[in-house]
Amino acid sequence: MAKVAWLGLGVMGYPMAGHLKTRGGHDVVVYNRSPEKALKWQEQFGGETASTPAEAARDCDAVFACVGNDDDVRSVTTGPDGAFQSMRPGAIFIDHTTASAQIARELAAAAEARGLHFLDCPVSGGQSGAEAGALTVMAGGDEAAYARAEPLIAAFARSVRRMGASGSGQLAKMANQIAVAGVVQGLAEAIHFAERAGLDIEALIATISKGAAQSWQMENRWKTMHAREFDFGFAVDWMRKDLGICLGEAASNGAELPATRLIDSFYAELAAEGGGRWDTSSLIARLGAKRKT
């Protein structure tokens, strides 16, 4: 059993921290910007709460975070009440936020200067994966620190892999989001085309999902896309944040992302029309009404 802190109890962090307590059997102290959420978590899972990241991190073997963006990660680490102010030498900070590779490298250097370790470990699998404890985790950072962190992360992940040096986890997550965006747009167009062609959508999906077109998105989102129901996962606003990070990194490394840039503009249209909290499968909403049968 390890003593660990968890910073950030959003839709992902709340169940992930819970798995550390229930599956992992670890001693968990939690911090959340709104203390009511931390008290709710404590009521459900036990453990302790803290009023600042620094208080939560004191005497911990590892500190986990899952917050909003680069600025939030910086705040809970190197801010005045950040975890780096109280973490003991040799402790590991494990960041599950989807953020930039630049912030990962910056905080890895800041951690090293304090005798700490920092791993960038963004996740894939969405809220349902977090609740099921079946996330995919892409890690960047020191190999020895990763080896110590991997058994802890396993409490809420089905797949964990170190991708390389600091920032590599974030770069892998960017590649993941680029691929996901393309798959969702392709599925949206396929369903829209089939609707207009008068095909039986259930029969179509049952057939093509057994071939090369199969994907997680097809298996899990075709019904809700066909029904134009968009309250089942990762939000448009969050995807726009992630694709913005991808496009910013591409501008730096010279990668060409024409489809990603186009799909980001489609998501921008949905957000402007009030769909910012719809899930990412809402790309189909741009393509016209279903054919009446």
CA distance 278 to 164: 34
CA distance 156 to 14: 11
- 140, 166 contact by CB (below 8 A): yes
Closest-CA residue to 125 (of 92, 91, 160): 160
CA distance 200 to 109: 56
CA distance 13 to 2: 18
Separation in Å, CA 182 to CA 3, 91, 253, 259, 262:
40, 39, 20, 7, 10
Residue 7, SS3? strand
- Beta strand ranges found along 165-268 (DSSP E): none
Active site residue 173: yes
- 152, 129 contact by CB (below 8 A): no
Out of 40, 173, 241, 292, which one is annotated catalytic?
173
Catalytic residues: 173
